[in-house]
Amino acid sequence: MAKNRKSTSALIDEYETSGKLTTEEAQALRDSPHWVIPFSDIASYLGGSVIFVGLVWIVVALMQDMSQATIDAALFVATGLTAFLSFTLIKKGGKLATLGESIAAVSTMTFAFAIGLLLDIFNVHDDYILLIASAAALVIGIGLSTHTSFIGTIIIVAATQPFMAAVISEFIPDTPVAPLLFAISGSALIWFSLRNIGLRFIARAAGAVSILMAAIAFSTWDSNMWQPLVGFAIVGLLFIFGANRMHLEIVAVGGLGVTIITGILAGQLFDSALAQGVSVIGVGALIVFTSIAVSRRGNAVT
């Protein structure tokens, strides 16, 4: 567990008491917002979204009278143009970089569609189309993640689960192991969030939700005891990791998972609704008492 780590407010109080901060400086830090998004950035996000809608509108209009091959060629041309525009704007920096990142999302999506349509023209199986198109987007997202403030992470999050779904559908459909692959992809997103990327909390939250869904699906796949136990272990480790790193979104998702799978285990163990409720309360009490015991040993999470 994170040992003797202090919250921001506690540090401000400590620095104020020791004289490292004046009373006015300390109060200014307490009153300052945790998130500040300039209006120009919001406008850039909106502008990028409007550009995306306009491009889709144009593509849909053109599709009515064009062959698949012509449409695909147009998508590749659009990809090249938007990628060039995005790169130019990001290179300029400042507020234009925000707009450039929004356009990068358009370029990536257009490229994924173009790849998918090209494979469809060659009669490639649907699962392979999704697999290859999402893999292409995933590679682009990884490449952009360390050079952009937000779009690389968003692309990675958006492409990871379709990629994993295609892997499951093509190689291991309808097996109990299938949900666990989403636990793997969720763990990969959380691991990736530890790197120097933008919007880390988005990757962490998406990864945690993916692991939660995997654990619940695996726990309820068959009517036996061992699968819910494995699912409980997964969400328990998720909760512990979140508490250790002090990531609230992971703690919340892990805690929700512990609660849900405790209920699943209680339903497997007891026929009586009363016994099920008592067992769930017992697990909750055990978690609380364990947390208090750890806190008293100086390992409190703040």
Same-domain check for residues 56 and 180: no
The token pair at 205 is: 């939250």
Q: Judge residue 116's burial from the number of C-beta atoms within 10 Å of its C-beta, 0-12 exposed, 13-18 middle, 19 or more buried.
A: buried
Contacts of 174 (CB under 8 A, 6+ apart): none
Structural domain ending residue among the three candidates 170, 191, 217: 170
Q: Residue 15 in contact with residue 7, Cβ under 8 Å?
A: no
Structural domain ending residue among the three candidates 141, 170, 199: 170
Q: Is 146 helix (H, G, I), strand (E, B) or coil?
A: coil
**Per-residue model confidence (pLDDT) at position 157:** 93
Whether the per-residue pLDDT at 284 is higher than 80: the answer is no
Q: How far apart are CA 117 and CA 111, in angstroms?
A: 10
Whether the per-residue pLDDT at 259 is higher than 60: the answer is yes
The mean pLDDT of the chain is 81
Residue type, 40: S
In a domain, 113, yes or no: yes
pLDDT average, residue stretch 27-31: 73
Distance of CA 209 to the CA centre of its chain: 8
pLDDT in tens, 203-247: 999 999 999 999 999 988 877 778 889 999 999 999 888 888 878
pLDDT in tens, 104-129: 888 898 899 999 999 999 999 888 99
**Per-residue model confidence (pLDDT) at position 135:** 94
Distance of CA 3 to the CA centre of its chain: 27
Same-domain check for residues 125 and 182: no
Query: Between the ranges 55-59, 144-148, 154-158, where is the mean pLDDT highest?
Result: 154-158
CA angle at residue 114 from 113 to 120, to 5 degrees?
A: 90
Same-domain check for residues 179 and 302: yes
DSSP string, 282-300: HHHHHHHHHHHHHHHTT--
Q: Which alpha helices (DSSP H) does the chain contain, by range?
A: 8-18, 23-31, 39-63, 68-92, 95-121, 126-145, 151-171, 178-193, 200-219, 226-245, 248-269, 273-296
In a domain, 94, yes or no: yes
**Per-residue model confidence (pLDDT) at position 10:** 74
In a domain, 14, yes or no: no
Band of the pLDDT at 301, cuts 50, 70, 90?
A: very low
Whether the per-residue pLDDT at 152 is higher than 80: the answer is yes
What is the sign of the dihedral through the CA atoms of 75, 79, 80 and 82? positive
Same-domain check for residues 187 and 270: yes
The token pair at 218 is: 């695996």
CA angle at residue 76 from 71 to 80, to 5 degrees?
A: 145
Query: Between the ranges 172-181, 262-271, 283-292, where is the mean pLDDT highest?
Result: 172-181
Query: What pTM did the predictor assign?
Result: 0.75
In a domain, 288, yes or no: yes
Q: Report the range of poorest mean pLDDT among 1-10, 18-27, 283-292.
A: 1-10
Same-domain check for residues 244 and 157: no
Note down the domain range covering 256.
Answer: 172-302
**Per-residue model confidence (pLDDT) at position 35:** 53
Structural domain ending residue among the three candidates 144, 170, 196: 170
Tally the residues of the chain: 302
Same-domain check for residues 149 and 190: no
pLDDT in tens, 123-141: 998 889 999 999 999 999 9
Same-domain check for residues 164 and 247: no
Q: How far is CA 85 from CA 17, 89, 140, in A?
A: 52, 6, 16
Distance of CA 91 to the CA centre of its chain: 27
Q: How far is CA 167 from CA 209, 216, 251, in A?
A: 19, 20, 29
> How many domains does the chain divide into?
2
